[in-house]
């Protein structure tokens, strides 16, 4: 109710200012100029509002009408890809999809047994693999080891997929500092450090692709997942900036912002784990997202997510924050019900 009142008062105040300006403009010419200025301003606002529609069409419809590129991904960017967070979910299936396109895969994760299993699965496609055991949640201490392991590999594609999330939605005071730093290390430090590590060699070769997996939660602050959403907003800003910086260096930078996907990251909700038409499984999602690699710069990665994202971002930010808060309260209550605990 307060938000509606604020918007009403601001709107009324704005109209009063416009009215006073018009009163001060005694001549028809002055009023005409003012109205022309208003028309231009309105046009700019409308164009900006239609931008989401254009991006939706470009990202999710036109790629299917573009002829297959005569140059495969390995030829355009290089025949080695690094994929983080690759032993489960989206990351694993990204690696599998890239392997089917004749790209060798470097797998980075903390569990040696899972890494070996995924490597065996990937090698069935006739490509090479390399595994690097590293716990990316630990921060900067692990990166010298990674750099040493990668020094002789011409990495052409970097998929920054690894991510950290709350165990379930909770207010900030319930988030331990250890968990907050884990999320920041996984979602911010990793994408920044690996990009900085591998980008110079890509620039020197004049080719390369960086794929940063963000989240639809980047679109607005998200109460009860405050730290997570803030890190994803960082990913978006970082991705857009480096794309502009290296636009003329032969580097393709893609920003991918999925909405809900049925993965372990969303295990706090059985509804999300079970999936539905709006919540695809990781294999379905990755197949679509990899198809869009090299075709568009910004995408949700999956057609139904693109439609959702469009309608979500039509709403003003305050409304998205309010709805997101209520949604996370619902997920929080579901988690406590399933675990027979009373929500605080």
> To which residue do tokens 């469009």 refer?
310
Instruction: Give strand ranges (E) for 216-300.
Output: 251-256, 298-299
SS3 state of residue 230: helix
Residue 192 near residue 139 (C-beta atoms within 8 A): no
Q: CA nearest 89: which of 305, 289, 283, 287? A: 283
Q: CA nearest 92: which of 155, 159, 26, 46? A: 159
State the helix-helix crossing angle for 177-184 and 226-245, rounded to 10 degrees: 20
Phi, psi at residue 323, to the nearest 5°?
-65, -40
Residue 173 near residue 216 (C-beta atoms within 8 A): no
Q: What tens-digit pLDDT sequence spans the chain (344 residues)?
A: 443 444 444 444 444 444 454 455 555 555 565 556 666 666 665 665 566 566 656 655 666 666 666 678 999 999 999 999 999 999 999 999 999 999 999 999 999 999 999 999 999 999 999 999 999 999 899 999 999 999 999 999 999 999 999 999 999 999 999 999 999 999 999 999 999 999 999 999 999 999 999 999 999 999 999 999 999 999 999 999 999 999 999 999 999 999 999 998 888 889 898 889 999 999 999 999 999 999 999 999 999 999 899 888 888 999 999 999 999 999 999 999 988 765 55
Q: How far apart are CA 169 and CA 266, in angstroms?
A: 10
Phi, psi at residue 130, to the nearest 5°?
-140, 135
Q: Give the largest Cα separation in the chain, rounded.
A: 80
**For the chain, what are the domain ranges?**
31-66, 76-334
Q: How far apart are CA 115 and CA 103, in angstroms?
A: 17
Q: How far apart are CA 185 and CA 194, in angstroms?
A: 12
CATH classification of 76-334, choosing from 3.40.50.720, 1.10.10.10, 3.40.50.1000, 3.10.20.30?
Answer: 3.40.50.720
Q: How many other β-carbons are positioned within 10 Å of the β-carbon of residue 321?
A: 17
Q: What is the pLDDT at residue 6? A: 40
Phi, psi at residue 253, to the nearest 5°?
-120, 120
DSSP 250: T
pTM of the entire structure? 0.82
Q: What is the pLDDT at residue 245? A: 97
Residue 328 near residue 223 (C-beta atoms within 8 A): yes
| Residues forming the active site | 228
């Amino acid at each position: 109710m307060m938000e509606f009142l604020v918007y009403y008062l601001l709107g009324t105040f704005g109209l009063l200012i416009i009215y006073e300006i018009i009163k001060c403009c005694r001549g028809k010419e002055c009023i005409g100029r003012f109205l022309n200025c208003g028309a231009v301003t309105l046009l700019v606002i409308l164009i900006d509002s239609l931008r989401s529609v254009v991006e939706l069409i470009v990202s999710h419809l036109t790629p299917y009408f573009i002829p297959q590129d005569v140059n495969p991904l390995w030829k355009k960017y290089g025949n080695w890809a690094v994929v983080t967070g690759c032993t489960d979910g989206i990351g694993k299936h990204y690696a599998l999809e890239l392997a089917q396109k004749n790209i060798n895969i470097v797998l980075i994760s903390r569990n040696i047994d899972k890494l070996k299993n995924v490597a065996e699965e990937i090698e069935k496609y006739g490509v090479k693999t390399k595994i690097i055991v590293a716990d990316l949640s630990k921060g900067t201490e692990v990166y010298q080891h990674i750099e040493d392991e990668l020094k002789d590999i011409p990495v052409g594609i970097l998929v920054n997929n690894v991510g950290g999330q709350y165990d379930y939605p909770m207010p900030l005071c319930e988030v331990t500092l250890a968990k907050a730093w884990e999320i920041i290390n996984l979602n911010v430090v990793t994408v920044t450090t690996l990009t900085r590590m591998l980008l110079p060699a890509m620039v020197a070769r004049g080719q390369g692709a960086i794929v940063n997996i963000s989240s639809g939660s980047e679109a607005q602050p998200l109460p009860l997942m405050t730290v997570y959403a803030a890190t994803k907003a960082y990913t978006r800003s970082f991705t857009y900036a480096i794309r502009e910086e290296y636009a003329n260096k032969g580097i393709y930078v893609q920003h991918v912002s999925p909405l809900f996907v049925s993965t372990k990251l969303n295990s706090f909700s059985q509804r999300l784990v079970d999936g539905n038409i709006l919540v695809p499984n990781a294999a379905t999602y990755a197949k679509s997202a990899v198809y869009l690699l090299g075709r568009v710069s910004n995408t949700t990665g999956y057609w139904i997510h693109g439609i959702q994202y469009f309608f979500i971002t039509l709403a003003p930010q305050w409304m998205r924050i309010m709805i997101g808060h209520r949604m996370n309260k619902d997920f929080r209550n579901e988690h406590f019900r399933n675990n027979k605990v009373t929500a605080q």
